[in-house]
Each structure stands twice: as C-alpha cells, then as structure tokens.
Amino acid sequence: MLPALKQEITRRRLLWISPFALAGLVAFLFRRGDRSAATVAANDNTEPVTIVQFNDAGAKLDRTSVKKVVHSGSEWRKLLSSEQFYVTRQQGTDMAFSGTYYQLHDPGIFRCVCCATALFSSDTKFDSGTGWPSFWAPIADENVIQRSDRSLLMERVEVQCKRCDAHLGHVFDDGPPPTNLRYCINESALRFIPHKS
C-alpha cells in the first residue's frame, strides 16, 4: 500500500511540475537568442537598409541599400566566438580593460564583427579611461541605430549595427568636442582593419 501511494504522489508531482518545466525551457531558449525558422524567414523579408560603405583605407564610397543580415541563434553561434555571441547577440558587455582596442591608436577602421559594416574610425577614437574603446562619433550615422535600454534599472541608449542588429555598446553625453558624445563600444563587437601604409 505504501509503495503504491508513493508512486501516485510522484505521478501527481510530475503532472503538476511538467507545465512549469516546459515554460522554463521555452524561456531559456528564448533568452539564448534562438529563433524559430518562421521568425528567421519573416526577418529575411524585411525591408533593405541604407548604409554608407567604406573601403579598408577608410575612404567613403557611397550610400547603398543592402539586405539585412539575419541568422538564427544557432547559426550565429557557429559564426562567432562565444564572447562575440554573448556581446553582440545577447546584449552582453566585455569586462573593462580586458581587450587591446581601448589602448589601440593605430590608424584604421572598426568593422562589425558580425557583418563587416564599417562602424567607427580611428579618427574619432579617444582615450576615455573607461577600459572600453571609445569614439566621439560613428564613421557614418547611417551605419548605426540607437535604442532605449532600460536594463540594469537605469535608462541608457544602446548602439546597434544597422545592418545586422548586433549590440555594440552604449552612447553617453560625457564625451569630448565636437560632439560631446562617448560611444562606449565592446571590443568583442568590432574587428579592426589597419590602414595599409
């Protein structure tokens, strides 16, 4: 009698816990950035975006309409390192002073690690003392987008790549002239292309 009662209680617990476990699994997969094939297909049909193209020497080429770069979470995981994925696809943040770009002063341009869109130039880079690469302006306003970010119980302005929606960092109003802005950008979101001499 006692083993049968224990078995019945275990079955009831399983039936009661199952919906919560399923909801937790769904929430976990959603937070990881995995998207269904239907979502990816829908995003593939989005309107093109206009960006300004630059060659690797930093020369402005032209404004052009390009297709957005869209991948599923699992596809991005294959294309990026774990740190790049965490920062660009999950809105993560590099640890301050952990990279090399914050102290890099060589001439060149910084491209998006996800889609190679030109984002920043060494011409607007400055040492902010924060431990992250900092710029007073993007290479072209058309290549980035800004969104309100209310995470961490504060309001900030998130900066994203316009072509692939990669999280780049945040922009603050404590930068140097002429813009008085500080684009505080994660190194994991960038790929530096030095100017060839």
Contacts of 122 (CB under 8 A, 6+ apart): 104, 105, 106, 107, 108, 109, 110
139: nearest Cα among 173, 114, 99, 168: 168
Task: Count CB neighbours of 166 within 10 A.
Answer: 27
Q: How far, in Å, CA of 84 to CA of 187, rounded?
A: 9
Which of 112, 115, 161, 184 is catalytic? The answer is 184
Active site residue 184: yes
Q: Which residues are catalytic?
A: 184
